[in-house]
A and B are shown apart, each in its own frame.
Chain A
Amino acid sequence: MRSRARTAGPRRSRTFRAAAVAVTVAASLSLTACGSGSSGSDGAGGAVKLSFSWWGDASRAKATQDAIALFEKANPGITVTTQYATFGPYNQKLATQIAGGGAPDLMQIDWGNQSQYAKSSTLLDLATGSGTVDISGLDAKFVGSGKDGSKQVAIPFGQATQGFVVNEAKLKSLGVDVPKAGWTWDDLAAFAKQVHDASAGKVAGISDPGSTWPAFQSWLVQHGKPLYAPDGKLGFTEADLTDFWAFCTGLRKSGAATPANVTATLTAGPAEDPLAKGTAAAEWDYDSIFASHVAATKDTLTLVPLPTVNGRTGMYAKPSMLLSVYAGSKHPKEAAKLLSFLVNDPQAAGALGSSRGMFPNVEVRKQQAASATGNNKVVSDFEAASATLLSATPSAPPKGDGQLLTLMQRIYGAVSFDQQSPAQGAKSFMQQAQQILAG
């Protein structure tokens, strides 16, 4: 034993050197070699196999899988395999799949990515050819948001509207009234402070909206400004962002909005956010996420329109998610058939409920609203009540929108932890945002 240790000296030093080289190489490889996996869908043996992926939580997944089961029942030759993930990881994976040539036949895409994917010809034109989708029953203006130039590259899968998701049960137990449509930001500040005081500081009135990119968009629209100018550059100034963040910072410092460490959990999604944990009584979100919020808590939730500035809510009908058929799909016809089913069929509407906001087919949407119950009724009532409050839908966001969303989270993170003032944060946001949009 002992003597081997000694005689092995020189040999070991060589082993060390070899090990060091090997380890060094491995160090770089594990970083650079994150390859893309591709999965081919094959329809050998007569039966057609489709793949379909989307982002969302478990409750949306269940609704979608129920709808697909109905489709499979009506089309015995077709089976559909599904995949879902939360928003961030989903988009990362989808981009890799597309680059590797292994994207799913049918995929849910974000409005912010649409033009980028369309320009690299990965999305099938759904208006002509084998992959034609019946869009006659859909609101023409709304379907237009899925166009890239003259090509219909995507179909909106749902219509979402912005609002505040409010924990009605919690407010009741605290003796605070649910805010009413037409409220102002001052009302919101007073309401939030009231919740904070009534709960002895345990519950904040709202989740701090300072890190939420689309919440800033509604604030801007209320002030008569767009998020993006028609040329795709920023439509607001440093002063606008400073104002917004200064307002949020005021709420946060008074305890009306969630503290920085709680706000940071907003990125984790509805299942783990302050509303689900009971640390905030209200939260800015789309009504298409309402069902997911409901699934994450035992309390009764409701929807309230956004606060107003000079009567403007800044709310608009957003194509919340869009469906596209992969241009490289082996079964474009069947994929388009599934897409048609998901946006037109009353059965699909029944299964999907409000899991993606309002159903695309207008006739079916009306029937659905008439017979809705539970969460679906809350959402459809909210949509009906908000219809007159809406601004025009802006044009599709430019490439880079997704990066600005995370930039907002990051810089407001620094602001909320008091590492930067709202003005300093706004300055560095503008610099980095312009860089991103230019690149």
Chain B
Amino acid sequence: MSTTAALGRSASATPTPAQKEQRTTPRRGFADRTAGYVFLLPWFAGLAVFTLGPLVYSLYLSFTDYNLLQSPRWVGFANFHQMFTADPRFFHAVRVTLTYVVVVTPVKLGLALGVAMLLNRRRRGIGLYRSLFYLPSLLGSSVAVALVWRSLFSQGGAVSNGLGSLGLPNADFINDPTWALPAIILLACWQFGAPMVIFMAGLKQIPSELYDAADIDGARRWARFRHITLPLLSPVIFFNVLLETINSFQAFTPAFVISGGTGGPADSTLFYTLYLYQKGFTDFQFGYASAMAWVLLATVAVLTALMFRLSRVWVFYGDGGNR
């Protein structure tokens, strides 16, 4: 504890000369800031043109009927009204997406944490293992991996044939409405490398003397995990949960590639984002698609806010306060 305080003091002492200098020469600070903003200008321009502009335009479009060819026609809340009252596929897409989010987020993070703890030790060749586990994440949501997945899990693919040679029924997973979504979920869980790396960084920062102290007190493995690892890792867990939840809501590429853009078979992989895409680019209802995008944005924003509120209860920050 005392070391922390000392280091904390020394850390806050280090920048003092620089701060003093800044305070004594305010004009130069202003000039520096202006220069900084000027250098940032290209980024701001990009933000305005490629991000804020389309964002605002899509908000406008969500209140219109727009088929790309004719100019948008104002329809007020008709898109939202239809979505919530007269579109069974919308609710179906919501259901598919929620299933995915609810399964993928905990399973993927559980795997990531478990493997991170296994790899969090000094052994020969540990770097190789870490890279191997991280590798699937590098391939990420790429089209190539989804294509490989499709051929692995469809009829005549390695997985189906492998199960068949074990005497199990060799199903055509990709073209079976019962198994298509689980196959995509499996793909997502396999790519747990990114949260794993973040977990490993978090684990490294837990002081080892805490574990030593717990050992002396006779704590078993589970108790050490429950009372040391979990609380000290909670900010990192929170970060990962937040990120993965949002990522899962946005899942699109694997479903698009594996189902050939249809969300099939029998709508079993109709993710929210895929339905949104179909509404826009297959049915040419860009107003409706924009409205869906904003509903998704609002949902994710509300969920994020809720998670932050909840985090006050369970996330432990080392400095005592949680803000």
Chain A residues near B (Cβ < 8 Å): 1-7, 9-10, 12-13, 16-17, 19-20, 23-25, 27-35, 88-89, 92, 95-96, 98-99, 116-117, 119-120, 122, 260-262, 264-265, 267-268, 277, 402-403, 406, 409-410, 413-414, 417, 419
Pairwise interchain contact B317-A120, C-beta atoms closer than 8 A: no
- A24-B304 CB under 8 A given contacts A9-B317, A262-B155, A419-B266: yes
B172 touches A95 (CB 8 A): no
Give Cα distance in the complex from A350 to B293, angstroms.
49
Least CB distance from A117 to B in Å reads: 7
Report Cα–Cα, A268/B323, bound state, in Å.
53
Closest to A3 in B: B7
Query: What is the bound-complex CA distance between A13 and B311, given in angstroms?
Result: 11
Are the CB atoms of A262 and B175 closer together than 8 Å? yes
Q: Are B300 and A13 in contact (CB under 8 A)?
A: no
**Closest approach, in angstroms, between the C-beta of A255 and any C-beta of chain B?**
16
What bracket does the count of chain B residues touching chain A fall in? 35 or more
| CB contact between A98 and one of B68, B205, B246, B322 (< 8 Å): that residue | B68
CA distance A34 to B67 in the complex (A): 15
Q: How far is the CB of A271 from chain B (nearest CB, A)?
A: 12
Task: Say yes or no: B296 contacts A31, CB within 8 Å.
Answer: yes
Minimal beta-carbon separation of B171 from chain A (angstroms): 8
Indicate if the CB atoms of B68 and A95 lie closer than 8 Å.
yes
Distance from B285 Cβ to chain A, minimum over Cβ atoms (Å): 8
* A417 in contact with B54 (CB, 8 Å): no
Majority secondary structure, A binding face: helix
Q: A7-B4, A20-B308, A267-B260 are in contact. List 4 more A-B contacts (CB 8 A).
A: A19-B239, A28-B300, A32-B55, A267-B264
Q: With CB as the reference atom, state the residue of chain B lying closest to A407.
A: B283
Q: Which residues of A contact B260 (CB under 8 A)?
A: 267-268
Whether B318 contacts A5 by the Cβ 8 Å rule is yes
Bound: A99/B286 CA distance, A: 12
Given contacts A10-B323, A32-B54, contact A117 B69 (CB under 8 A): yes
A10 touches B317 (CB 8 A): yes
State in angstroms the CA–CA spacing of A95 and B265 once bound together: 26
Q: Does B243 touch A at the CB level, under 8 Å?
A: yes
Q: Mark B216-248, 1 if CB is under 8 A from A, else 0.
A: 000000000000000000010011001100100
- A66→B4 CA distance, assembly (Å): 76
* C-alpha spacing A55/B267, complex, angstroms: 25
Asked if A24 and B246 make an inter-chain contact with CB atoms under 8 angstroms apart, the answer reads: yes
A28 and B4 form a contact (CB under 8 A): no
Name the residue of chain A whose CB is nearest to the CB of B249.
A27
Quick one: closest A residue to B69, CB to CB? A120
Complex Cα spacing A2 to B155, Å:
52
Answer whether residue B165 sits at the interface, using C-beta atoms and an 8 A cutoff.
no
Which residues B280-323 have CB closer than 8 A to chain A?
280-284, 290, 293-294, 296-297, 300-301, 304, 308, 317-319, 321-323
